[in-house]
Amino acid sequence: MSLFAIADTHLSFGTDKPMDSFPGWNDYVDRIEKNWNKIVTADDTVVIAGDISWAMNFDELKADFDFIEKLNGKKIILKGNHDYWWNTSKKMNDFIESQGYKTISILFNNSYDVDGISICGSRGWLFDVDDEHDEKVLNREVGRIRLSLDSAVNDEKIVFLHYPPVTTDTKCDEILNLLKEYGIKKCYYGHLHGIAAKKAIDDVVDGIEFRLISCDRLGFVPKLIR
């Protein structure tokens, strides 16, 4: 059994916001499906680190989840900044159950045991918070990551975030300090595309290996983690 990861699939089967108009994103859905099913088997797990769908609600989300359900392997998904359909754990799990999805699970204040590795994480938040609202959101996200880490059952924990906790020109100390507190050695994140991806850290910082896994950065091929 292998573990893969990818972020920013930006599906829009239930809406009209395809990404094909952006440079390098032509035929991205077909490319994701072909590349995914070529390397991922039914016994594997793929973490999708946010910005999964442009849907605004569950009705719009259904077609995108239908697509994800048909892809090979089990999928663990977490929230991105564009996942406006995201809701309470109960409502999301009720939706998943009601639609009969068997391969999709939500990473939200929890963790998953995948072949002796604990999969942890949350959305994360912005750097340099400068108002009361941002500070509250950041503190809440730090709390969610901590809840996820505290729920882990394995010594080895891998953290997945949507927002990068560090780039070439800035960092989020609150999240970095939390990762160091729990002895995290690997952290994967998305969110950065195009020119912004030039600021991505694909290196070791403070003893933690950071990797950008946004779809376009990976050439629309899920990254093998383990």
Exposed/middle/buried for 33, CB within 10 Å: 0-12, 13-18, 19+? middle
Q: Which domain holds residue 179?
A: 3-224
Structure confidence at residue 20 (pLDDT) = 84
DSSP string, 51-95: --B--SSHHHHHHHHHHHHHSSSEEEEE--TT-TT---HHHHHHH
CATH of residue 12: 3.60.21.10
Q: Provide block-wise average pLDDT over 10 residues at a time, the chain (226 residues).
A: 97 90 91 98 98 98 98 98 97 98 98 97 81 84 98 97 95 95 98 92 96 97 97
DSSP 101: -
Rounding to the nearest 10 degrees, give the CA dihedral for residues 210, 37, 56, 101: -110
Tens-place pLDDT, residues 40-61: 999 999 999 999 999 999 999 9
Output the pTM of the full model: 0.96
Q: What is the count of structural domains for the chain? A: 1
Any alpha helices (H) in the chain, and if so which ranges?
Answer: 28-39, 58-70, 89-98, 132-150, 173-181
Tens-place pLDDT, residues 158-194: 999 999 999 998 899 999 999 999 999 999 999 999 8
Exposed/middle/buried for 31, CB within 10 Å: 0-12, 13-18, 19+? middle
Structure confidence at residue 128 (pLDDT) = 62
Identity of residue 157: K
